[in-house]
Every structure is written in structure tokens, then in C-alpha cells.
Amino acid sequence: MDNIVVIWFRRDMRLDDHIALSKAITYAKKHECKLFALYHLDPFFTEMDLDLNNEHFFQNLAHFVKVARESQMYIHLLYGDVLRAFQQVIDVYDIKAVFFNEDQVGIGQKRDHQVTAFLEKKGIHVSKWQDTHLHGAQDILKADGTHYQVFTPYYQSWRKQEKQPVIKVDKSFLNSAHTICDESLSHKGNDKLRSIIMRCSRKFDQIGSRKAMNTLHDFIQKRLTRYHEKRDIPSVFGTSKLSRFLKTGTISIRTIFHAVHEEALFEDEGRETFIKELAWRDFYHMIYAHYPEMKEKEINSAFQGVKWNEDESLFEAWCKGETGFPLVDAGMRQLNEEGWMHNRLRMVTASFLTKDYLIDWRKGEAYFAKKLVDYDEASNIGGFQWAASVGTDAVPYFRILNPTTQSKRFDPSGEYIRRYVPELEHVDEKWIHEPSKMPTDEQLKSSCVLGDTYPLPTVDHKERRKKAILLFEEAKQQ
């Protein structure tokens, strides 16, 4: 029976700049063990209805497993209950240690605690590492040891802290002489993944580490210096498009940070704005770790009793992008088509759902969770609670985004709207933000008949604004 050290892959589908993998190789060399690589297919995720988020995730997994196996490191796919999956390996091999990059929040954290307790009871060394963020949930604290609740002071502290360097992985060790390939353990997992891929309704091409590195270099060379100016304009390609790769871990957050940090000029505003976005990602992750119930519960207790509107037809109009507000509809249709939405639009659509439709933010959060290929639980919950004015450091409840003003400001010529709402393609710039004001002759000229070709506004923004303020004030008084 071979002595082995297990490297357990999860949302870290890469062989470069990978802390747990690097540490596992060091351990294997020192203790003369072989490396056993595994990925656990959890029925909680595999049995979900397939939507854009998990179709994208599983296609990334299939790509990663294929690439690793081709480079002579066999990744074993284990399917079923996680403890039984580990027991299968324990029954065949003498496991000395298990290395993985931990989850500090959500369902992954619960699983990690469960597996750690199970393995340690069997005398197996468990080695967990924080690899998904530049700073983990407990790294940036106030002087008194408590966590920050406001972003600006958190960011000031975060910016001063040294960032971990890019991790070197000795990939020469990852070959058939030092790694285990036991296909018999992988049959069920292989079949399961194959069946999921066959059921996918669309094929994603922006997957894998090579694409991730190309996207990073392309961003630095072409868009970084003007990032602060362009990132809010949805019609232009002004953002990094790296979030989908971070979601699957096909690129490391350290690789991104250091590449951006070293390439740009020191006082570069584009660079600083982008780095601040990486800090927001860490901030919401830290908040989620301190408020584990925030997926279900508003952080601001004053608003835990808001009486949300339960109008299903309005919620469906929002989901489909048929609200009668062009910018909102364009954003939702981009999400439904591509599994991605421009960040400005995430704010606009979340605000519209919660402040114009007065619908529970949790419903919007759950819809985004199914659709977004870059879905990050902490950031998405944090973003929805921010837009709904119920979270930490959130927008005040009386500050309500006007979807028409946002449209005129961030898509002045209507280029973005026309791209995703083809019914409005021939509408003149004068009416594109408020097509409901078009005279009849203009409607006929542009082949856009209101209430037929394109919906009339489903609500009156001014009225809803007053209603939203009242709703929040009532909740506060309870």
C-alpha cells in the first residue's frame, strides 16, 4: 500500500500559483509520498437544475481535469457523500495528509469542518490554506480586534498590508512517477461529469487557465489605464472580464494583483480603481464570514421587518427584462443571454427590483445566483443588501436610483440598450431612454409600438420612490 498525500481541488482549477498544491508537493517530497489528486462532485450541486452558472462551472471542471490528466497528473473524480468519497480512498491507500484551499464562508465552510473532523479522527494530518482572497476573513481587523463594517477604513488598512507573493509550484513533480492514477476510483465521477456536460444547453469558450492569463494580459495592455473612466459605461469593453476566472480559480487572485501592481505606473488612477475592486471582494467575504446568516437575513436589523411586495408578475417582468425601463431590461437580458452583466447594471437592476418593484432582495440574489457565471456568494449578497439599503455600509434607503437618469448618464446614445433590446433598435436617441413618451408617428416610424412591440413602464418611478421611502420608514419604527 502506497503512502500518499491528497491534494483536494475545489474552486481552484489550476496548477500554477496554488498554495495547497505547492505545500502538498513539498510534503510529498519530504515524506517520500505519492500525490493523489481528487475533486469531489457534490450531489448538492450536481443534482441542481442546470443553469448558466453551473453549466459554466462544470465545463471549467471538465476542461481542468482533461488538461491535468493529459499532463500526467490524474485528477480523480469522486461522486457522492463527501465522507464516503474520502473513505473510498482510505480503504485503498495509506493517507498521511490532506491538503486543500479552505472555504471560510457558506456551505463550503460547513463541509470543510465536517471533513477535517472526520480525517483528524483517523489520525490523518489536515492542512488548510486561505487561497481565494488576497486577505482572509480574519486578516484585516481594527486595533481592538473587531471587524470593520465600513469599507473606507477597511480599505485604508487593507492597502497598507503586504500582499502574499505569487506561489511557485514545482510542476516537474506532477508526473506519473510521483502521482497516483487509479481509474477504478473515478468511474462514477467520470460518468457523472460526462452526463452533466452532455446536458449543458450552451458551450462556453472563455474557460481554463490559458484563457485567463490571456484575458489578464489583454486587460493590462488595453484597458487598465482608462479603467476608472470606462468601467461604468456598459456599451464599451472597459472592464477586466476576470471575475469568471476567479470564480473557478483558473487564475489566482495573487497573479492578478501582482501583474496589475507591477505593470502600471505608480500613480495610475485606473490601476488604483481596479485594486479597490479587489479590496471590495475581500471586504464582502470578510463581512459574510462575520455574518454567516446574511444570505437569509438583513445585516441592518432595523430593516429585518420590511414588508416586501410579493407580486409574481412584476418579478417575472424583471427576470425576463420586460419592465418597460430600457436600461433595466437590457441588463437583465444580457444576464439571461451571457450569464454575465456589467457591474453598473447589477447595481441598477438590483435597485430597481428592491426600490421600484419593492420586491425582496433575496429573490433577486437567488436569480443572479442561477445565472451569473462569475457568481460570488459574498459579493452578490453584499451587493444586493447594499442596493436594497439593508446591508453594512449600504446606500441610504432614501437615495433611490432613477433608472431613466442612470440610462441617460451611462448609455447616452442608447448603444447598450439597442444591443440587448432589439425592439428598440430603430428608436431615435431622443426617445431611447423613455420610449413611452414617443408620439404615435415616431412609434410607427421606429417599428416600436408601445404596449405591443415593447412594454409600457410597469410602474411609475416617482410614485414608487415615495412608496419605498414609506416602506422603509415603517419598518424602522417597528
pLDDT tens digits, one per residue of 284-319 = 999 999 999 999 999 999 999 999 999 999 999 999
pLDDT average, residue stretch 246-269? 87
pLDDT of residue 265: 56
Picking from 150, 173, 398, the residue whose alpha carbon sits closest to that of residue 286 is 150
Report pLDDT for 227: 94
Sign of CA dihedral 260, 264, 270, 275: positive
pLDDT in tens, 354-405: 999 999 999 999 999 999 999 999 999 999 999 999 999 888 999 999 999 9
**Which CATH number applies to 209-291?**
1.25.40.80
Binding site, by residue number, is 227, 239-243, 274, 277-284, 374-376
pLDDT score of 80: 95
Q: pLDDT-derived band of residue 266, with 50, 70 and 90 as boundaries? A: low
Spatial distance between the Cα atoms of 475 and 478, rounded to a whole number of angstroms: 5
Provide the pLDDT for residue 39.
98
Q: What's residue 270's pLDDT?
A: 92
CATH fold label, 3-140+172-199: Rossmann fold (3.40.50)
Mean pLDDT of 119-136: 98
What confidence score (pLDDT) does residue 267 get?
Answer: 61
Judge whether 337 and 330 are in contact, CB under 8 Å. Answer: no
| pLDDT over 80 (residue 1) | no
The CATH fold assigned to 301-477 is DNA Cyclobutane Dipyrimidine Photolyase, subunit A; domain 3 (1.10.579)
- Domains of the chain, by residue range, sit at 3-140+172-199, 209-291, 301-477
pLDDT of 264 > 70? The answer is: no
User: Percent of the chain beyond pLDDT 90?
Assistant: 94
CA atoms within 13 A on the CB side of 424: 32
Residues annotated in a binding site for FAD: 227, 239-243, 274, 277-284, 374-376
Q: Is the dihedral of CA 120, 248, 130, 109 positive or negative?
A: negative
On the question of pLDDT at 117 being above 80, the answer is yes
Residue-wise pLDDT for 135-169, tens only, equals: 999 999 999 999 999 999 999 999 999 999 999 99
Q: Is the pLDDT of residue 50 over 70?
A: yes
Q: What value does the mean pLDDT of the chain take? A: 95
pLDDT of amino acid 402: 97
Question: What pLDDT sits at residue 281?
Answer: 98
- Pairwise CA distance, residues 384 & 269, whole Å: 27
Do strands 34-41 and 75-79 pair parallel, antiparallel, or not at all (unpaired)? parallel
pLDDT tens per residue across span 201-233: 999 999 999 999 999 999 999 999 999 999 999
> E strands along 366-453, which residues?
none
Name the DSSP letter for residue 436: G
DSSP, collapsed to helix, strand or coil, labels residue 6 as: strand
Do the Cβ atoms of 94 and 66 come closer than 8 Å? no
| Nearest residue to 343 (alpha-carbon basis) of 421, 243, 253 | 243
pLDDT in tens, 172-199: 999 999 999 999 999 999 999 999 999 9
Please compute the mean of the pLDDT values over residues 348-355 and round it to a whole number. 98
What is residue 478's predicted lDDT score, i.e. its pLDDT?
81
Name the pLDDT band for 268 (thresholds 50, 70, 90): confident
Q: What pairs with residue 39 in β-bridges?
A: 9, 77
